[in-house]
Amino acid sequence: MRLGSATARHTMRPPMLALLADRSWAANLPIVGILAGLVLLVVGAELLVRGAVWIALTLGVSRMTVGLTLVAFGTSMPELLVSFTAAANGNSEIAMANVIGSNTFNILFIVGLAAAIRPIRLRVEWMELGYMLVATALAAVPFLYGAQVGRPIAGVMVAMLVLFCTQLVMRERSKAGSTADRPEDHPRSTLVGWLTNLALVAMGLALLKFGADWLIDGSVAIAQSLGMSQALIGMTIVAVGTSLPELATSAMAARKGQPEIALGNVIGSNVFNIGSVLGVSGLLQPFPVNVPALAALMIATAVSAIWLTVVLRARGGVSRPVGAAFLLSYVAYIGWEAWRTGAI
């Protein structure tokens, strides 16, 4: 009798709840699963950032500090959920390719597109660029030693991120004398506001979780059906998909003539991708790195980080021709990877 009641309750479960609870449909309909996953990742990151920023501002945190930390972390949440899910499911190539592929896409495609929309004129300080280079070097360690993102190197990545955030906060506090936010600039603390924004954070996290599941299941199914490697899927569909929040933010900032946001979003996200995504994923679920399959991508990631640093320090920004060179380099590299792996 109890079994029958349980079965009846299961069959009467609302269709939407049944869809969320059962992930098999994403593998059976991979294209739909990927598209639905991407939508949930973008919407979830947006809700999470909105709710978290309101809460932080209400508690008195400056807008600059919020932008350099919470927003960068929020736009990296898709990568975190996707990479952790992939590593936990045994799809380690997708986990690693997602992170370093996203960093390459952020620099070559997003910065290139932003500069093509409007030339970027901005001299970025060494601190941000230095941390981006250090983070890139840490991502390369598993390729040179161990072929695994284990807990020791993951711990170093997380420590690097904590130090980065600490130095950002200290720098902003030292500059806050004449530019500190006025009390009236902060949202008014109300019960409705707290309930609404806490709900946004919870809903954002839930959407990110389901979006990551569906994107991974759909991507793995396509890779298997087309004979594509997980590495190629990870550095293209998954990496580009999880970088959509950064793409939207930087493109809009470029159109509005806000180079600090366009570049800061990319540089900050690249540091967060290594520190939080690889670091947290490696601490919770250590995973192997397929060095032969991903070595070329790691080289592309390192070259793009060094290239951006040299351009910003030597030229004080990114011109349209350099932006076009970034874009063409990314397209050429992905085309070469597809040809090398037999996808085309």
Fold of 27-176+184-340: A middle domain of Talin 1 (1.20.1420)
| Short-list 286, 285, 304, 277, CA closest to 99 | 277
What is the distance between the alpha carbons of residues 244 and 45, in angstroms, rounded to a whole number?
Answer: 10
Q: Are 107 and 270 in contact (CB under 8 A)?
A: yes
In this predicted structure, what is the pLDDT of residue 176?
A: 58
Q: Give strand pairing partners of 149.
A: 287
Q: Are 161 and 276 in contact (CB under 8 A)?
A: yes
Dihedral over Cα of 45, 48, 51, 55: its sign = negative
In this predicted structure, what is the pLDDT of residue 6?
A: 44
In this predicted structure, what is the pLDDT of residue 120?
A: 82
In this predicted structure, what is the pLDDT of residue 124?
A: 75
| Short-list 215, 261, 229, CA closest to 78 | 215
What residue ranges do the domains of the chain occupy? 27-176+184-340
Per-residue pLDDT 10s for the chain (344 aa) are 344 444 444 444 555 555 555 667 777 888 898 888 888 877 887 787 778 778 777 876 655 566 556 666 776 777 777 888 888 888 888 889 989 999 999 999 999 998 888 888 877 778 889 999 999 999 999 999 989 999 999 999 999 999 998 888 787 677 655 444 455 556 778 888 889 988 988 888 788 778 877 887 888 788 778 777 888 888 888 888 777 777 776 777 777 776 766 787 788 889 989 998 899 889 988 989 999 989 999 999 999 999 999 998 888 888 999 999 999 999 999 999 888 877 66
What is the distance between the alpha carbons of residues 228 and 206, in angstroms, rounded to a whole number?
Answer: 30
What is the distance between the alpha carbons of residues 115 and 117, in angstroms, rounded to a whole number?
Answer: 5
| Short-list 330, 144, 102, 79, CA closest to 235 | 102
- Neighbouring C-beta atoms of residue 24, cutoff 10 Å: 9
Q: Where are the alpha helices (DSSP H) in the chain?
A: 2-11, 15-21, 24-28, 30-58, 63-66, 72-88, 92-104, 112-117, 126-144, 151-174, 176-179, 191-226, 230-233, 239-242, 244-255, 259-272, 279-284, 291-315, 320-340
